[in-house]
Amino acid sequence: MRQHLHQNPELSGKEFGTTKYIRSFIEKTEPSQIIDLARDTGLAAIYHSQQPGPVILFRADTDALPFKETQEIPFFSGGKGVAHQCGHDGHSAILAGLALMLKQNQLQRGKVILLFQPSEENGKGAEMILNDAAFADIKPDYVFALHNLPGFEKGSIVVNSNVFASASRGMIIRFTGKPAHAAYPEHGISPADALATTIRKLNKLCSYYEMFSSFVLLTVVHAEMGEAGFGSSPADALIMATMRSHDDHDMKIMILEAKQMVKEIAAQYHLKFSIEWSDEFNSTVNDPEAVKVVAEAAKMNEFPVITKVEPFRWSEDFGRFTQKYKGAMFGLGAGKEHPPLHSEVYEFPDDIIATGIKMFWGIIQQILSKE
């Protein structure tokens, strides 16, 4: 299944074939109910014991990245500019494996929900699920998810009792002036100085430590101005930046400061401006009790546990779920020398699928033994 998903990747919001394939697999495990979500790009499978008890939700993300895979493997994605370079094919396979466990082992009480979520990469999927009327009746007591982690011992379990992954925002700034002939630039209004000033000031924003409570980072990722020609003085400029923070409140401060900065620069250089936001992720904050359950499940399976103090700088939209429900995201080591996520040669290691399944099943056992 993992290799089939790898060979047939779909971008965020377009996971129709992926979800249809997953649904056909899940139907064979005879869940109590399957709920179609997010306009048929996601689904939830419910396994009900018919006895009162805790409701436990496990989430896997299903979308791929706009990436051209370069490695030659039997299940090559085809080099079409879409590839599973973050391992969501593996995450989905793990959740499908848990479905098999639930078919083979009847729950004694409570319910388990397996959520296959679209659009994680653009930060929209979790919000889509939570706002879907069909999801309204699913009221989990616990929510869990994992993410494979290259750079960590294969099969190890990585936990953090507070913030697991950072908040992030994509900022798109546009300046508009007045075009002119390059021979008469004084007849126009060029955004060149505004572009340079904005980049310089954005790069310094995070150095004002007294404003922030913890880690913040702003990275200018793209800038462009005018046309590639020598005959005209430009009228338009574009700047793109990524903001990251461990704390959601610090993110709000960064956003307000950056917006005010752009407004002042535009006024200084007599330009019009606009600001757009993209890829909006909240920080993924774990519940300590849920993290303890994860650690106990790892101990039960004799998997090594690595406690990470610093949150990861990358973002995950599972934070939308942990804002609303008690839960935790944990890491699953993919190997210390494994190629990094979002690289052309990354591929999810199949031999950690069983580890992920055992972890999720162990979490169920731990919760049921205590409730």
Residues in the chain: 371
Q: Tell me whether strands 142-150 and 163-165 are parallel, antiparallel or unpaired.
A: unpaired
Q: Which two tokens stand for residue 319?
A: 């934070």
Verdict on whether the full-model pTM lies above 0.85: yes
| Judgement on whether residues 142 and 271 belong to the same structural domain of the protein | no
How far is the C-alpha of 222 from the C-alpha of 207, rounded, in Å? 21
Q: Which two tokens stand for residue 347?
A: 């591929």
Residue-level pLDDT at 196:
98
Of 264, 280, 296, the last residue of a domain is 280
3-state helix, strand, coil in the chain (%, to 5): 35, 30, 40
Angle at the Cα of 246 (from 212 to 119), degrees rounded to 5?
A: 135
Range of the domain at 37: 2-165+283-370
| Judgement on whether residues 129 and 26 belong to the same structural domain of the protein | yes
Helix axes 192-205, 248-268, angle to 10 degrees: 160
Phi then psi for residue 239, to 5 deg, are: -130, 135
Residue-level pLDDT at 203:
96
| Judgement on whether residues 53 and 113 belong to the same structural domain of the protein | yes
| Judgement on whether residues 292 and 275 belong to the same structural domain of the protein | no
| Judgement on whether residues 227 and 294 belong to the same structural domain of the protein | no
| Judgement on whether residues 249 and 322 belong to the same structural domain of the protein | no
| Judgement on whether residues 228 and 341 belong to the same structural domain of the protein | no
| Judgement on whether residues 160 and 177 belong to the same structural domain of the protein | no
CB contact burial 64-74 (16+ within 10 A = b; e otherwise): bbebebeeeee
| Judgement on whether residues 37 and 144 belong to the same structural domain of the protein | yes
Phi then psi for residue 221, to 5 deg, are: -110, -15
Map residue 199 onto helix, strand or coil: helix
pLDDT, tens digit only, all 371 positions of the chain: 999 999 999 999 999 999 999 999 999 999 999 999 999 999 999 999 999 999 999 999 999 999 888 877 888 887 679 999 999 999 999 999 999 999 999 999 999 999 999 999 999 999 999 999 999 999 999 999 999 999 999 999 999 999 999 999 999 999 999 999 999 999 999 999 999 999 999 999 999 888 999 999 999 999 999 998 999 999 999 999 999 999 999 999 999 999 999 999 999 999 999 999 999 999 999 999 999 999 999 999 999 999 999 999 999 999 999 999 999 999 999 999 999 999 988 999 999 999 999 999 999 999 999 86
How far is the C-alpha of 160 from the C-alpha of 142, rounded, in Å? 17
| Judgement on whether residues 207 and 318 belong to the same structural domain of the protein | no
* CATH classification at residue 214: 3.30.70.360
| Judgement on whether residues 135 and 259 belong to the same structural domain of the protein | no
Local structure of residue 326 (DSSP, 8 states): S
Domain count, the chain: 2
* CATH classification at residue 66: 3.40.630.10
Residue-level pLDDT at 79:
63
